[in-house]
Structures are given as C-alpha cells and as structure tokens.
C-alpha cells in the first residue's frame, strides 16, 4: 500500500484497503468490521475499527485543514511527525501514549491503540467529572518526555539529527507561531471573541505594550530555543482519561522547543477550566468543590513535573549539559543542585508566560475551548472569559515575579470571587 | 573532479588537479603557478596559488585534526559548512568575507579570494599595530550576519531548513561544547596552563560553584538556542586586516546559536589582547596607548553592533518575530523599541558570559592564543593570564549585573593597574 499514491480513506473503503494490515489484530474478516469516522478535531480523519478480537484507531491526515476546507492546505507529512513523536514519547514514558501498530507514510496514516472507554478530558472538565491520579501522570509525562528528549539526557549527535528531522514540521509550527503568539494581540482576520461583551477588554489587551512585548519574547523562545522535543499541542483536548488512566494523544505539532512550553500550555487549560465552572453551575457554588479541584490539578502538574524532573536530573543526567564530571565527580554535588534550581526557575517563568498567551488565544483567537463555548448565555460566558484574560495578562507580563503556584492560585481565586462568579 | 574520491592536495599535485578549474582566473599555465602551503591553523590544508593574473587561496579539509594527527578524526563535511556559511555571510554583509570562486564537496575544498597583503589580526595585536575602522567593520559584520540570519529577518521555512542543514555540523560543535564550556573547569586530559604559576588560580576557578554553573548555563544556550547562524569561531585569528580593511575568515564552526555568542567571543579576544600587552613591553608603559586602543576596539565592537542591529530592527524587521503588524502598524512604535531594548539587554548579558568562558578556555584549556604564548618569561605570562582569568570569572558569574561597557573597562583597568602590569 505504501507504493500507491495518497488517497483519503472512507468508512466504505477502509476494510478493503487496510484488510491485510489489520486482519490478524482484529480477528475477523474485514467485511465484518464495524467502522466509524469519529474525527471531531480540526485537522484529520479518525476512524474506529472494531472486529471480533478488538478495535484500533486509524488516524489519517487530510491535505488541508478539516475545519476550514481545501482553501487551507496542510502537509500530509504531519502524520510522519506524529508517528515519530509517539514512538519517542512511548520510549520516554512507557504506557502514557497510545501504542502504535502501523504507520504508512505515503497514506499519512497511523494505526494505533483504541482507548476505550476513555473520554477526552476536556469534556469531563466541562461536565465537572474528576479523575484520580491525573496530576501525577501528566506531571510525570511532562518531566520524562522533556528531560529525556533534551541534551540533559540524549546523545548529542542523535539529538541534533532529531532537531533536523523535526525542523521540517514547518506548517504546524506556523499555526502555533501565528495563532498563539501574534493574532490574538491585534485584530487579525481569523480572530473571534464573545462580542460585544469582550470588545473593551480585547481592545485594552491589544493596546497593552508590555503584554505585546511579552508575547513576542515568548514566541522567540518557542521558535528558536530547541531545548527538547515538545508535544506541541498539550491541552486537555489532547488527553483521554478513564478510571485513573490518562493518555496523551495527537502530537502532530511536535517540534523542538523550550522546556516550559508544554508545561505552560497544559496548566493554562486547567486554569481556564477553573474559570469556566461558574458558567455551568445551576446554582452559585454548585461547582465549588470541582472548581478547586481544577486548581489542585494545575498545581499538582507543576509540582509533580518539578519533582520528577529533579529525580531524573539526579539519576539520569547522561547528556552533555551540566555533566557530573564537572560537579558530583569533583565533590561539588551542590553545584548540580544549584544548576537544577536555576533551570527549574527558568522553566517556571517560561511556563507561566506560555500559560498566559494560551489563555488569550483560546478566547481572542481562532481556536476556542468547549468549556467556554458551551456556555450559551453570552453574558455569563464573557464573565468567565474575562477573568481568564485578566489572569493570562498577569501571567504573561508578571511571569518573572511569581514565587510559586500559591501566587497563581491566590490571583485566580481573587479574580473568581471579586467578580462574583 | 567531484566524481573522484577524496584525496588530500599537495604543492606538487595541486596544479594538475585544479588546472582546469583555475587556469582562466590565474591567467597562466598550471605548471608555471607558484604554490605554497601556508596552513598555520589547527585543522586544514591551506594553499596560496599564484599565476600571472593573480592568486587564490585553496583551503582543503583533512579527515583529522591537523594539530593532533590521524588519532583525532574530523569529518570532511566541515568544508561544506564553511562554504555554506561564507556564501550566507557574503550576502548578509557584502565584502566582509573572502569571495568564493569554487567549491568541491567531495574533495572538501573551497577556492577563495587571496587576501593580500592582509595579515592575521592576532599577530598585530601581539605586535602592537593598530588598524583603523576595525570596530566599525566588525560590529557591522556581527549585526548584519546575526540579524539577517534570524527569524527577525528570514522567511521562517528557509530558516528552519537551514537549521536542519547546519544541525549536521556535529563534530565541530562538539569541539566547542567540550573545549570551551566544560574542559577548562576541571582537570581534563587535554588541558594545559602556565604552571606552576597558575596552579592555584586554576584550582580556585575549578572549585568555584557559581562559575561552573554559569559555564553550563551558557553551554545550554550555545547548544540549544538556535537564534541565528553563527560564525562559531570568531576570534582575532579568524580576522585578516590591512589598511582599513578587515575580513572575516574560517567559519567552519558555523551553527545556529544565540545572538550573543560571536559577539562575546570576539570581545573576549580584544580583552585578552589588552592584558597581553604588559608581557610584550620593553619598558613599563611602552604600550599604554595601544593597550587602551584594544579596550576602545572591544567597546566599539559592542556599540557598533548595538547601533547597526537597532538600525536593522527599525528598517528590516521582516521576519515572524516582533512583527510590525503588532507594533508600528497599531500605532505602538514604542512597543517595538521596548522589545528591541529587551533583546539587546539579553544579547549583552549572554555576550558577557560567553566572553568570560572564552577567556578561561584560552588560558586553562587546549587552544591557547599567541599573545600570551609568545611571552617567554612564564612569570610575566602568568601575571597577564591571571588578570584575564579574573576578568573572565567576573564576566561569566556577574553577567546579569553589568550596566554597560564602562563597567567592563573599569574592572579591566583596575585589574591591570592593581597588579602593577
């Protein structure tokens, strides 16, 4: 099949085209498979294929952005980057991403583990459903993939070759470069926001010089600081969860970038979930417990990331950066601890900045989030969104002067309670 | 010739092997050419070939480090990176690098302009010979190559492809990673220093936790912060000068890295020349005027870099970073100025740090500089070197708290005069 030119799959053609590849795994004749197309994302075709012995997911890239149509072409090669990211993540944090069963570069498709009955985490954040163990699993995933994908761990020739490989993921980086860091901060054509309620604050933020400088300083880091292999799109719609098992999916935006990027993006999404709760309460206070849980998860992601990253620093620092030859082996173990603290401080500051711009682009830019979008009363929705915008501004501009998560929590709670949400 | 396997050139074989390529340019039969091998660097063969109508330089890589021998292999591909860097630098700052006439990848050779009667700048810094216009030309070279090789200027898909191309320059980056940032800070096998005079200060610096943390923080930036295409080895032995014309040669260490790297390396070499003068004076004070000139050049390189970089920022900012669409076009021109000041501040801090480690590795590491090495009296030499080591430590550790070049000058002068040099 690799020899054939690319053709998009359909529910009807899939059994015939993937019959030989999947028959053994699914355990029944292709014509008997149950095939559903379930892609609800913005970019790709996603099929669930089930036979007698089980199911798989078939994800195939389309040569354009599904959400927009053929007028916005997008390279099929993103499937290659997703495959390469999934295999690296699986090696670095085993069990946290879906297993890959088959990759066909020409057809831009990946066959992978069907996670069932897992659900997209974002839906449960909207519904007010908690998950145990989430912060620990996600914090560990961040620490393990980011540490083990860097010059702190890898052999440098392999890392440099990998930088070259992922440098070609131009089109998806371009989406982030434009939609996250630039478009939200002026009246770009694809932007939208809850209007007219947010018109004034949108104008205020777009006239905020300090914020517009901060956003581009963060963009420089995203574009140029190739510190480690990022997931690149780690929001709560890229996480599936069920019964204490969280899985990370959809790394097609993978590129080398700064340690703080994935960390900040993910934390931002829990902070937005926090502010969205009041839009879904039937009575004020109904979601108080769940609301605080979203902050606990945000804090837990950071503390677990920090602790696991520190553990890996102390036990697996085999790369060319901060070598033990210079510290521990010279009797200067505290030098290694001093360097770790400095690096974690830099990651913390960057993560807060990325969290801030993520919150802005989800409210002022093109791609919004369900927790806000599904609040039908636009006054209520705008009230939630405005608090998130305020916190985002505080994070992005003030990022170098935030001592710890307690500060973030205090500002979030103050915004939530002062506004009477 | 590209089809033939690699063979090292010799004075005898060169006319026959390059006859067809160079005959028109040199204007006389190959058998009449005057050929000299003049490579005094550490890595390559360098021939000057002269015919009736003029001369060329033929630089050919050897498959090992010339200084050490076949026991230290080094990829021929460094010639490819040198060629690619030379052509980019020529486009970004026309006239400042030797013109390239011919490149043969299989033979790892570049035929280029013969700069005559230019001399290696480092020799004149040792001899006490000034050059007019040096700071201006070098500062402009830094600003133009670094600005125009970044996401401030380039089309991002081209820059990402270029990052991939230069990512393969692993072996030469490895030399810098090891010899500049790590080896000087512990008793590595290839290190040497003026002994026993510098034994105590070498031990002191190698026990200096803050310094050893700073050196590796700077290494992380060098390894991972792909902000622009660097020359990668911009010391005063990579500059030729004559009668108001400075030329930059030997960019085989080219890689993507932080804006401040070339700037800091170059400034460090003028600061070391400052401290070397007292080792070459026949009587104290003889070189007072020249000594101050080396500081003036160091300062001038920075101020010209800053001014030209600022000019390009205001007139050529066509890349994806800090776009005019977000600033000037919104009536927020001062936001662009605020962002420029922030970036220049970051570059300044990084440059000071890189200057500090460059001064250390030239005295405690493998590759030393002629201005110090040629001071035969080892007590005198060590006195000069110790001052440079002290300034290097101050720069590397204190880099975030240096307001401007006046601070650097004051510390340098104080070290020079307190020690009675």
Domains, chain B, ranges and CATH?
A: 14-113 (3.30.200.20), 119-418 (3.90.1200.10)
CA distance A284 to B173: 60
Chain B interface includes A164 (CB < 8 A): yes
> Which of A:299-338 have CB within 8 Å of B?
320-323, 325-327, 329-330, 332, 334-335, 338
Residues A296 and A408: beta-carbon distance below 8 Å: no
Chain A interface includes B195 (CB < 8 A): no
Number of C-beta neighbours around residue B48 at 10 A: 15
Distance of CA A408 to the CA centre of its chain: 20
CA distance A279 to A371: 8
User: Considering the entire predicted model, what is its pTM?
Assistant: 0.97
CA distance A415 to A384: 10
Rounded to whole angstroms, what are the CA distances from A192 to A172, A196, A270, A359?
21, 11, 22, 14
Closest CA to B240 of B141, B129, B117: B117
- For residue A241, the cross-strand partners are A119, A246
With CB atoms and an 8 Å threshold, state whether B185 touches A326: yes
What local confidence, expressed as pLDDT, does residue B141 receive?
99
With CB atoms and an 8 Å threshold, state whether A167 touches B161: yes
User: pLDDT of A233-262, one tens digit each?
Assistant: 999 999 999 999 999 999 999 999 999 999
Residues in chain B predicted with pLDDT less than 50, given as ranges, are: 1-2, 420-421
Number of C-beta neighbours around residue B410 at 10 A: 10
Rounded to whole angstroms, what are the CA distances from A231 to A85, A253, A255, A341?
7, 6, 7, 24
What local confidence, expressed as pLDDT, does residue B420 receive?
47
User: pLDDT of A389-402, one tens digit each?
Assistant: 999 999 999 999 99
With CB atoms and an 8 Å threshold, state whether B182 touches A156: no
What local confidence, expressed as pLDDT, does residue A419 receive?
57
Residue of chain B whose alpha carbon sits nearest to that of A228? B224
- For residue B50, the cross-strand partners are B34, B55
Where do runs of H (alpha helix) occur along B169-287?
170-179, 199-206, 209-224, 260-276
CA distance A303 to B199: 44
Q: In B, which residues are within 8 Å of A157 by CB distance?
A: 170
Chain B interface includes A118 (CB < 8 A): no
User: pLDDT of A126-162, one tens digit each?
Assistant: 999 999 999 999 999 999 999 999 999 999 999 999 9
Residue B65 makes CB contacts below 8 A (sequence gap 6+) with B42, B43, B72, B73, B74
CA distance B270 to B122: 9
Cα three-residue angle A72-B227-B139, rounded to 5 degrees: 130
With CB atoms and an 8 Å threshold, state whether A223 touches B332: no
- For residue A59, the cross-strand partners are A46, A110
**What one-character-per-residue DSSP string does B82-101 give?**
HHHHHHHHHHHSTTSSPPEE
Number of CB pairs < 8 Å for A and B? 143
Chain B interface includes A414 (CB < 8 A): no
Q: Express the helix, strand and coil content of chain A in percent, nearest 5 each.
A: 55, 15, 30
Closest CA to B270 of B167, B159, B119, B124: B124
Candidates A229, A321, A365: best to mutate against B (most CBs of B within 10 A) is A321
With CB atoms and an 8 Å threshold, state whether B156 touches A163: no
Closest CA to B230 of B256, B249, B252: B256
Q: Name the pairing type of β-strands B44-51 and B34-37.
A: antiparallel
User: pLDDT of B184-229, one tens digit each?
Assistant: 999 999 999 999 999 999 999 999 999 999 999 999 999 999 999 9
Closest CA to A298 of A149, A210, A412: A412
CA distance B21 to A273: 68
CA distance A81 to A89: 12
CA distance B309 to B140: 8
Closest chain A C-alpha to B45 CA, distance in angstroms: 26
Q: In B, which residues are within 8 Å of A212 by CB distance?
A: 326-327, 332, 335
What local confidence, expressed as pLDDT, does residue A241 receive?
98
With CB atoms and an 8 Å threshold, state whether A332 touches B209: yes
Chain A interface includes B167 (CB < 8 A): yes
Chain B interface includes A261 (CB < 8 A): no
Cα Dmax for chain B = 67
With CB atoms and an 8 Å threshold, state whether A161 touches B174: no
Reported ipTM: 0.95
Q: Which structure tokens are listed for A159? A: 């890392």
In this prediction, residues A155-182 reach a mean pLDDT of: 97
Closest CA to A182 of A155, A222, A143: A222
Q: What is the dihedral of CA A94, A97, A103, A108, to 10 degrees?
A: -150
- Name the residue among A320, A323, A334 with its Cβ closest to that of B209: A334
User: Backbone phi, then psi, for B73, in 5-degree steps?
Assistant: -70, 150
Closest chain A C-alpha to B305 CA, distance in angstroms: 20
With CB atoms and an 8 Å threshold, state whether B156 touches A167: no
CA distance A125 to B150: 41
Residues B228 and B146: beta-carbon distance below 8 Å: yes
Q: How confident is the model at residue A39 (pLDDT cuts 50, 70, 90)?
A: confident
- Name the residue among A163, A209, A326 with its Cβ closest to that of B186: A326
Distance of CA A139 to the CA centre of its chain: 13
CA distance B386 to B390: 6
In this prediction, residues A408-415 reach a mean pLDDT of: 98
Above 70 in pLDDT, residue A421? Answer: no
Above 80 in pLDDT, residue A420? Answer: no
């Amino acid at each position: 099949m690799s020899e054939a030119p690319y053709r998009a799959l359909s529910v009807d053609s899939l059994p015939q085209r993937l019959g030989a590849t999947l028959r053994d795994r699914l355990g029944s004749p292709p014509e008997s498979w149950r095939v559903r197309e379930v892609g609800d994302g913005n970019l790709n075709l996603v099929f669930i294929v089930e036979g007698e012995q089980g199911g798989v997911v078939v994800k195939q890239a389309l040569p354009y952005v599904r959400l927009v149509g053929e007028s916005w072409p997008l390279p099929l090669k993103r499937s290659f980057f997703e495959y390469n990211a999934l295999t690296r993540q699986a090696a670095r944090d085993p069990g946290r991403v879906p297993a890959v069963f088959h990759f066909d570069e020409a057809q831009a498709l990946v066959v992978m583990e069907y996670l069932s009955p897992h659900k997209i985490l974002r839906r449960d954040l909207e519904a007010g459903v908690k998950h145990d163990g989430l912060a620990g699993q996600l914090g560990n995933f961040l620490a393990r993939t980011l540490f083990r994908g860097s010059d702190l761990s890898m052999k440098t020739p392999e890392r440099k070759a990998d930088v070259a490989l992922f440098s070609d993921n131009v089109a998806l980086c371009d989406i982030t470069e434009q939609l996250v860091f630039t478009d939200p901060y002026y009246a770009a054509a694809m932007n939208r926001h809850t209007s007219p309620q947010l018109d004034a604050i949108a104008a205020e933020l777009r006239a905020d010089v300090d914020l517009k400088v901060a956003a581009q300083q963060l963009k420089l880091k995203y574009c140029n600081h190739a510190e480690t292999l990022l997931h690149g799109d780690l929001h709560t719609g890229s996480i599936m969860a069920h019964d204490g098992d969280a899985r990370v999916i959809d790394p097609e935006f993978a590129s080398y970038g700064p340690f703080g990027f994935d960390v900040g993006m993910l934390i931002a999404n829990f902070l937005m979930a926090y502010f969205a709760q009041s839009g879904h309460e039937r009575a004020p206070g109904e979601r108080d417990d769940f609301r605080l849980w979203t902050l606990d998860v945000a804090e837990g992601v950071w503390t677990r990331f920090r602790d696991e990253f520190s553990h890996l620093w102390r036990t697996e620092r085999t790369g060319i950066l901060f070598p033990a030859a210079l510290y521990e082996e010279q009797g200067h173990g505290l030098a290694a601890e001093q360097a770790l603290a400095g690096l974690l401080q830099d990651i913390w500051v960057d993560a807060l900045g990325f969290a801030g711009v993520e919150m802005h682009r989800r409210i002022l830019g093109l791609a919004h989030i369900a927790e806000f979008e599904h609040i039908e009363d636009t006054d209520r929705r705008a009230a939630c969104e405005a608090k998130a915008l305020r916190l985002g501004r505080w994070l992005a501009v003030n990022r170098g002067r935030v001592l710890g998560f307690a500060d973030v929590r205090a500002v979030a709670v103050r915004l939530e309670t002062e506004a009477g949400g």
